Structure 1
Amino acid sequence: MLSIDFSHIFDVGSHGMTKKQFAAYKKQLKPALKSFELRAQGFHTIVDDMATARELMQYAKEVEGQFDDVVVLGIGGSSLGTLCLRDALTHLYGKKDKKQPRLHVVDNIDPIMIQELGDVIALKKTLCIVISKSGTTPETMSQYFYYRQQFEKEKLDIKKHIVFITDAERGVLREVAWEEGIRAFHIPHNVGGRFSVLTPVGLLPAALIGIDIVALLSGAKEMRDTFLSPVFTKNLPFQLAVTQHYLDTKRGKVIHVMMPYAQKLYRFADWYRQLLAESIGKKKNRKGKTVYTGITPVNALGVTDQHSQSQLYNEGPNDKLIMFIAVSQLAKQIRIPHLHPKKEAVAYMKGTSFNELIDIERLATAMAFTKNKRPNLTITIPKIDEEYVGQLFMLFESATAFLGELYGIDAFNQPGVELSKKITKEMLAKK
C-alpha cells in the first residue's frame, strides 16, 4: 500500500496545521461516507466490475496482431487518464514491440496534430477508439467524422477499424452502434468523465497495449476499501482531503502543486489537474448559495522543475501546498561513473547512483520548503506498476470526492464547462 507523510504539514508553524486540527475533522468522515452511499456515485464501485474487464481483455485478444496503431479520439476525462496509463506503464520512449501497437491520443482539434498523425500511421493497420459519453462532444465528434471518412476513402471496413465507448442507452454514438453494428463499450451512467479512467475509457486502450488491467483494478480496489473505512486513522483519502481543505480555507494555500519525482508519472499530474479543477471549482454549493470554491492545480516535475519553479515556491507568495510523489524503486541501480577525479567541484557524486541522486534531491527540496515554512507532503509508492498506479488513481478520486463533501459542493458536475459547450454549438449552428 502507498503511504503519505504529513510531517511537513505539521512542521511549518502557522502556515500548516497541528495534529489536533488535523484530528478534529474525524467527526466529518462518517457523514461524508453516508452521503456517497445516498448519492450512488459509481467511481468507487466500478473496480468490482470484473465482467467488463474480461470483456475488454477478450476484445484485445481478438484483435491482437491486427493493428500497428491505436488512435484514441477523446478529450479531457476521455484522454488524460489514458495518456497517464501509457506513459506510466509502457516504455517511455515507445520501444517497438511486435505484439503491441503504438497508442496515440488525439485530445485536441489542432489541424497540425491531425495532419501529422496521418503522416505516421497506415489506416489499414489502425484502430480508432471514439470516446464520448454524450455522443455530441464537438471536438471528439469532429475527429470521428474526419477519421471515419478517411477509412471510407480507403474502402476499409468501419466495423473493423472503429470502436465506440459511450453511454449504454442513449446518444449519437450509441445510435450509430445499433444501426451499423459497430462494437461499443459503455461508460456507467453514474461515472463522470474525469472519474472514468477505470472504466472502458482507460481500460480498453490499456488492454490493447498490454497493460494488466486486472492488476490495475486490484490496486484501485485496495485503495477503495481504505476510502470506505470509517476509521479516520486508516482512511488515507480522507486525511489527504482534510489537509487540502484546511490549508485552503484556513491558511490561504489556494494553489496545490503536484510534483512527481518520476518522469513516468508526469502525465498523472496532468490527469489530476482536470480532476481537481473541474470537481472543486464551483460557483454555488449544494444549497444553491454562491460560494466560489476552488483550488488551482499546478503541475511540476522533479527534478526538472527544481530549476524552473522551486525559486517561486521557496521565496514567492506562501499560498501553495506542494504534493510530492516519490517512488521507492524507480529502476535498477544505475551508477554514476566517477570521472575527472582530480576535479573537487564534482567529487560529491563519487560512489552514488542516479537512483540515489533523484531521491536525495527530492528530500533536499522538501527540507528547503519546510525550512521556508512552505507546507508539503509526500506520497510514496514502492514502484511504478499497475497495482500502485491503480492505488494512486483511487486515492485522488476519493480525496477529491471527500473535498466536495467538506466544501459542501457537488464534486461530480461541471456547469461552467457545459455553458461553453452550449455557446460553441450555438455559434456553429449560426455559421
Structure 2
Amino acid sequence: MSLKLKSGFTFDYDNLYGEGKVTDADLKFYEEDLKKAHEAMKVMREKGFIRAHLSKDGEPEKVLFSQLPYVEEGHLNSPSSLKHLQELTDHVKDNVDVVVSLGIGGSYLGDKVLFDVHCGEFWNAMSKEERNGFPKVVFSGQNIDPRRTGDIIHYLKNSAAITKSHEKRNLKVLLLVISKSGGTLDTMSNFMVIYDALQKFDNVDVEVVAVTDPNMEKQTLLKKLAIEKGWPQYAVPDGVGGRFSIFCEVGLTLAACIGFDIQAFLDGAKDMDKACQNDDLWQNPAMLNAALKFAASEKHGRDIEVMMPYGDYLKSVSEWYIQLLAESLGKQYNKEGKEVCYGRTPLVAVGTTDMHSQTQQHQQGKLDKIVQFIRLENWENDLEIPNVFPEAQKLADISGVTMGQALEVARQSNADALASNKRYNACFTLPKLDAYHLGELLYMLAMSVAYEGELADVDAFDQPGVESYKRIMGPKLAERKAMNQK
C-alpha cells in the first residue's frame, strides 16, 4: 500500500498499516482529531495562527513556515528577496575562495543538508572549475570545540599561503554568520575567534554576511554590528523556528553560495504543500504520515522513529529530522497546561552502514520502534559492480548489478526481515536526488510534525525546554569569566 504523487514521490506504508500493525480501528479512533488537525492547518496557512502558541517571551506569535514555499511580494520569500539572494550568488561566484558557514541548530543542520545533497563530501577537493566557480565551504559554530575551531583557522592559514604562493593574491574568505539574536554562544564564540584570527593574517581578505533578526526597532547585537560595519544582511524572520528555517534565508543564503537551485527547492515544497491540503487522509502525505506514526506510538507503543535513508549524502537529512521531531514534539505540557510528557524519540541510521551496527537491535530488540526508510528510485551516476575476480565465486556472485540496485535489494531485504518479525517500517521514495524532490521531502516532514502536534495537543512550534539550560549557563559563564580575570 502506498501513496504516490504526480511527481513520483511515494510513501509506502504497507509495513506500518494493516492487520497486526496500525489498523482501521486505530485511525477511526482518531478520526475527529484528524479533522480538527486538518482544520488547524488551514487556519495556520491562512492566518499564521496556531492555538495556544506563544513565543519564548510569552507573547502571541504567528507561525509562518507554510508561507515559505510561495514566492510572492509581501511574503517572507518574495521576488525581491530571491533577487537579493541572487546578488549573493553573483558575488561569491568566481570571487570568494572559502565560505565559513557559522550556525547551530537549524542554522547548521538545514544548511548541511543542502550542502551534502548538492556538493557531496569532496567538494572542497574539487578544482574551482569543477565547482563552477563557487567557493569551498567549511562549517563552524555548531559546537564550542577549541580543537576543531583551531583546525579551521590552521586550514585557512595554509590555504592563504598556497594562494599567495601560486596565484600571487590574498585568500578571500566570507564568514556567513547566522544567529537570530546575535548572541548565540556557540555560533558567536566561533565567529569571534575565527574573525579575530583572520584579521591578523596579512594574506587573507575577510568579509562578513550577517543573517539575523531584521527588526530595526529592537536591533539584535548582530544587526547592530552589521549596520556599524556595513556587512550585507539577510533575515532570520519571526514566525519561522530554526528547525523550519531551511526554506527561508537561513538556509537559502548557504544555498546561494553553492549554486543550489533555490527556485526548484521551493517549487518542490510548494507542490507538496498543495498535496497536503487534500482533505482525504489517504491522499495527504503529511496527514497520513502523522496519523500512522501517532497511532503506532499511542496504540502500539512504537514511540521511537529510526530515520534510515539509503545513501551517504542523505545522512544529514536524518540529523535535520532529529531536531525537527525532538524540538517540535518533545513537550512536558499540553496546550491546556496539563503534564503529558509527550514525544517520540528520533534516531539516526544510514543504510547499508547501520545494517551492520543497529539492525540487530531493530530486528530483535524492544518492540518500540518504527524504521523509516528513504530511498532513491534513480541514481544519477550508478556504477555497475564488475566481475573483476571470476575465480572468486562469492565475489563473482555479487557482480553484474549496479550499486544502486544492490543498495535497494539490501533495503528491501531489511524491510522484509523487519516486517516478518512484527517490526514496523515504512519508506519514502524520491524519484531522484535533486532540489525539487528534496524540497518535497523536507516540507512533508515539517508539515507532518505540525499535524502530529495537533493530534498530541502540544505546541509543535515552541521549545521551552531549550531555555532551561540557557538560564543556568549564562551565570555560570559569567562566573568563569570573573575567575579568569582574577
Shorter-normalised TM range: over 0.9
Gaps of 5+ in 1: none
Q: Among 1, 4, 10, which residue is 2:17 paired with?
A: 10
Match of 1:73 in 2: 102
Q: Secondary structure at the match of 2:128?
A: coil
Q: Among 457, 461, 478, which residue is 1:412 paired with?
A: 461
Deviation at 1:278, TM superposition (A): 1.0
Q: Among 168, 174, 187, which residue is 2:214 paired with?
A: 168
Equivalent runs, 1:325-364 vs 2, <5 Å: 325-364=374-413
- Whether 1:206 and 2:241 are equivalent positions in the alignment is no
Q: Among 88, 104, 116, which residue is 2:138 paired with?
A: 104
Match of 2:188 in 1: 141
Structure 2: distance between partners of 1:19 and 1:54: 49
Q: Secondary structure at the match of 2:11?
A: strand
Match of 2:78 in 1: 50
Deviation at 1:149, TM superposition (A): 1.8
- Whether 1:22 and 2:20 are equivalent positions in the alignment is no
Q: Secondary structure at the match of 1:161?
A: strand
Structure 1: distance between partners of 2:144 and 2:127: 27
* Residues 305-331 of structure 1, C-alpha deviations (whole Å, 9 max, x = no match): 111111111111111000000100123
Deviation at 1:350, TM superposition (A): 4.2
* Residues 176-234 of structure 1, C-alpha deviations (whole Å, 9 max, x = no match): 22233221111120001111011111111111111111111111111112223323222
- Whether 1:265 and 2:307 are equivalent positions in the alignment is no
Gaps of 5+ in 2: 1-6, 44-48, 51-61, 71-76, 161-169, 481-486
Q: Secondary structure at the match of 1:352?
A: coil
Q: Among 108, 122, 127, which residue is 2:174 paired with?
A: 127
- Whether 1:150 and 2:179 are equivalent positions in the alignment is no
Against the structure 1 CA distance between its residues 238 and 156, is the aligned structure 2 distance closer, same or farther, given a 3 Å change threshold?
farther
Q: What percentage of aligned pairs have identical amino acids?
A: 34
Let me know the Cα RMSD of the aligned residues. 1.9
Equivalent runs, 1:289-368 vs 2, <5 Å: 289-368=338-417
Against the structure 1 CA distance between its residues 154 and 405, is the aligned structure 2 distance closer, same or farther, given a 3 Å change threshold?
same
Q: Greater shift after overlay, 367-376 or 181-190?
A: 181-190
Q: Greater shift after overlay, 231-240 or 92-101?
A: 92-101
Structure 2: distance between partners of 1:385 and 1:325: 14
Contact 1:42–1:188 (Cα < 8 Å) also in 2: no
Equivalent runs, 1:215-226 vs 2, <5 Å: 215-226=264-275
- Whether 1:83 and 2:132 are equivalent positions in the alignment is no
Match of 1:402 in 2: 451
Contact 2:92–2:135 (Cα < 8 Å) also in 1: no
Deviation at 1:157, TM superposition (A): 10
Q: Secondary structure at the match of 1:258?
A: strand
Deviation at 1:246, TM superposition (A): 0.8
Structure 2: distance between partners of 1:429 and 1:344: 66
* Residues 347-366 of structure 1, C-alpha deviations (whole Å, 9 max, x = no match): 43242221211111110110
Higher relative contact order (CA 8 A, sep 6+): 1
Q: Secondary structure at the match of 1:259?
A: strand
Contact 1:164–1:184 (Cα < 8 Å) also in 2: yes
Alignment TM-score, normalising by the size of structure 1: 0.94
* Residues 391-421 of structure 1, C-alpha deviations (whole Å, 9 max, x = no match): 1110111101111111101111111111111
2:128 partner amino acid: D
* Residues 143-195 of structure 1, C-alpha deviations (whole Å, 9 max, x = no match): 2222232343347999x610111111131111222233221111120001111
- The alignment of Structure 1 onto Structure 2 pairs a total of residues equal to 428
Against the structure 1 CA distance between its residues 157 and 354, is the aligned structure 2 distance closer, same or farther, given a 3 Å change threshold?
closer
Structure 2: distance between partners of 1:376 and 1:320: 8
Contact 1:26–1:232 (Cα < 8 Å) also in 2: no
Q: Secondary structure at the match of 2:373?
A: strand
Structure 2: distance between partners of 1:429 and 1:331: 52
Q: Secondary structure at the match of 1:9?
A: coil
Contact 2:97–2:171 (Cα < 8 Å) also in 1: no
